[in-house]
Structure 1
């Protein structure tokens, strides 16, 4: 008999897991409360970040901590009443960011990141998804020459140790590459490996179509209805109950709502983010995504317009949207590019699922036969979806994993 699985969560990670399982002969039902890619996979910078071999550590410099504590920044904003709920995971995040511990984390993180381009292309090649993947990389702009030199020195280490490619631009080179910038900068680093996705939602939908064309099934359902059923699992969907021998939880920041009732409580916490699209005046063009270091937000050319994506907001899970960072960023962005009016009726908001040790949770759920985890990718769910899908499918089928799964095992929490 074919093996069977329910995959809960139809973002980039869940879709990729479902597709890899289906290609290995599983009967798979992919369940979400909405359509594929309509959660956190919908709104992001659209970058498949081959250069991101080092995760973001918790800041340890006093000056940086004071800057964030003032709560006036664009890149980080917090709701003061929400901070007690973040105390434990953020303290653990700070502990894991100690330099020696961080080095071990970065080594494990890089083993996943270096696979991301190959794993995306393995799915997309020969399909309409290839039209969405632009090999243009992205640029980080610097007004401070010293900071630029320090970043280039770290980039050289990443090139030597992990094969990361980049190009250094001086001010004139940056102006030639992006002639419609309204500011001058000391220079930029152009990360040349990453793929820029012109429509992240469309990419997830494209992979979901590959899944259904291979015989997989989509269903609208309530992941919190998951229950053990005999030797397997059952979940309620709009078409009635669905059962399978195994279940994969790939619900991003909402994953703990399903795992905690099953006895597994990972220290998952969410960072909220927002985006808005804009037109450009006249014949202005943005050729590739740019992040201005001074302001800390990304501007990316997309099908829907130029997308401004904000940094991290810390808020209660049920708090209404509060796009304060977007309000702070927009006037700064208008000083960088000749932006026209907003193109969206309201800012989009999503939640990035983070872990204190900066590594995703991939593998067998402790204490539950036939239950598997695939969440906690923070800012890199789009980047690492296919990598995670392949790794988890290999674990579930007993294949030799193409990447050692040990650092990402759920049992570490």
Structure 2
């Protein structure tokens, strides 16, 4: 089988990229070892984070780093045996999170986030996926005045610098928004610009069906079988070899399995995360995607139940599950909202692909003709799928990308 383009990886980034290429008349084969959207894209908090212009940095306060060292928190957990291997990534991540560097990175990152909702909107309408979307933002709930005031100040800065809209909630306003939350919270903050997705996997599948309606094909195959073939590329699949003149690597945390053999050395780290769905007790209702800010977990009212998501676990990408954060988060969540039984047979785990400068890798490979990269979106894969897909497709088709992609180019990592 031959095509114009092979896209490796059928998460939200790969599907969006394949879709944008197909919209421009390219013949595209999308290849993954599993079904579309069944890896990292399956289990996120379901937010299109228009407010997320500042990427998640590494803590700079030594007292906070020390507290993380006790390894007993919900928002972060680590495998001690993995730390030596993670030191190069973590040290570079910490260095880039310095206040001045972090602010510069946020300014370079912000244009991607600025177009996150609008680019999803185009595909959501074209794919007929409006029933999966809510457009009423999400909220943070605060237990202390210190946390509240710090976040209010940050929200005001984001509003001033980036036009982000928000609304402050006193205790009564929060209770009106969420009458079944316990009164341990003194107030909240409602981010008004983001959209939420009631079924992230369902959205990926809606985009896939749209891609297929344009003539695109999805086939299961082995990305590690990639090899140069003539003037192009070849990948082995369950239906035989597929060849194309151009190829996009959108394999998320597994991208290095393809890029490293080609001589590229991206310092790609992984933040693993977990989720579980719960039924509510009785007639309890959770109205908003809600974060318990000081404890570091999310509750999201999704199609499959109330999804509880955890923070980041630093471990070997392929190490067995250790859902200790989920157990910690569940114990706390049950004290603030009436959760009933678990609805999943076991906790879900996914791996977020992270670069040490907190920005994705988007652009042409510097040393191979017809090779393109689209990975490293960390916590914002769902948010940035359509933006990334459009940028890659425009560059590949000889159009001027609607954003300057220089800041996210692969060349910023030295081989």
Please report the TM-score for the alignment, with normalisation by the length of structure 1: 0.98
1-side partners of 2:343 and 2:81: how far apart? 32
Residue 26 (structure 1) aligns with = 26
1-side partners of 2:96 and 2:404: how far apart? 21
Contact 2:127–2:209 (8 Å) recurs in 1: no
* 2:315 maps to 1:343: no
Residue 324 (structure 1) aligns with = 324
Contact 1:171–1:184 (8 Å) recurs in 2: no
Residue 220 (structure 1) aligns with = 220
Contact 2:246–2:370 (8 Å) recurs in 1: yes
2-side partners of 1:196 and 1:4: how far apart? 34
Residue 97 (structure 2) aligns with = 97
Contact 2:127–2:207 (8 Å) recurs in 1: no
CA apart distance, 1:10: 0.4
Q: Give deviations 1:173-218, integer Å, cap 9, x for gaps.
A: 1011100012331110100111110000000000000000011011
Residue 297 (structure 1) aligns with = 297
Residue 195 (structure 1) aligns with = 195
Describe how 1:42-57 pairs up with structure 2 within 5 A.
42-57=42-57
Residue 231 (structure 2) aligns with = 231
Describe how 1:47-196 pairs up with structure 2 within 5 A.
47-196=47-196
CA apart distance, 1:154: 1.4
Contact 2:147–2:294 (8 Å) recurs in 1: no
Divergent runs of 4+, >6 A: none
Matched residue SS, 2:41: coil
Q: Give deviations 1:62-82, integer Å, cap 9, x for gaps.
A: 121011011011110001000
2-side partners of 1:149 and 1:98: how far apart? 22
CA apart distance, 1:3: 7.3
Q: Which moved more, 1:103-112 or 1:155-164?
A: 155-164
In structure 2, the CA distance between the partners of 1:8 and 1:127, relative to structure 1 (3 Å rule), is closer
> When the two structures are aligned, how many residues end up with a matched partner?
412
Matched residue SS, 1:273: strand
Contact 2:272–2:317 (8 Å) recurs in 1: no
In structure 2, the CA distance between the partners of 1:294 and 1:100, relative to structure 1 (3 Å rule), is closer
2-side partners of 1:204 and 1:288: how far apart? 22
2-side partners of 1:376 and 1:274: how far apart? 19
1-side partners of 2:332 and 2:153: how far apart? 28
Matched residue SS, 1:236: strand
Please report the TM-score for the alignment, with normalisation by the length of structure 2: 0.98
CA apart distance, 1:126: 4.8
Q: Give deviations 1:10-56, integer Å, cap 9, x for gaps.
A: 00000000000011111100000111110100000000000001001
Contact 1:183–1:335 (8 Å) recurs in 2: no
Residue 271 (structure 1) aligns with = 271
2-side partners of 1:54 and 1:173: how far apart? 27
Contact 2:126–2:210 (8 Å) recurs in 1: no
Describe how 1:306-321 pairs up with structure 2 within 5 A.
306-321=306-321
Give unpaired runs (5+ residues) of structure 1. Answer: none
1-side partners of 2:294 and 2:243: how far apart? 51
CA apart distance, 1:155: 0.9
Q: Give deviations 1:286-337, integer Å, cap 9, x for gaps.
A: 0011101121000000000000001111112221111010111111010111
1-side partners of 2:276 and 2:137: how far apart? 21
* 2:363 maps to 1:363: yes
Residue 14 (structure 2) aligns with = 14
Q: Which moved more, 1:346-355 or 1:157-166?
A: 157-166
Q: Give deviations 1:244-303, integer Å, cap 9, x for gaps.
A: 000000000000001000111210011110000000011100001110112100000000
Q: Give deviations 1:98-141, integer Å, cap 9, x for gaps.
A: 11111110001111001000000011115431111101211111
Q: Give deviations 1:213-252, integer Å, cap 9, x for gaps.
A: 0110110000000000000000000000000000000000
Give unpaired runs (5+ residues) of structure 2. Answer: none
Residue 373 (structure 2) aligns with = 373
Contact 1:175–1:184 (8 Å) recurs in 2: no
Q: Give deviations 1:342-373, integer Å, cap 9, x for gaps.
A: 00000000000000000000001121111100
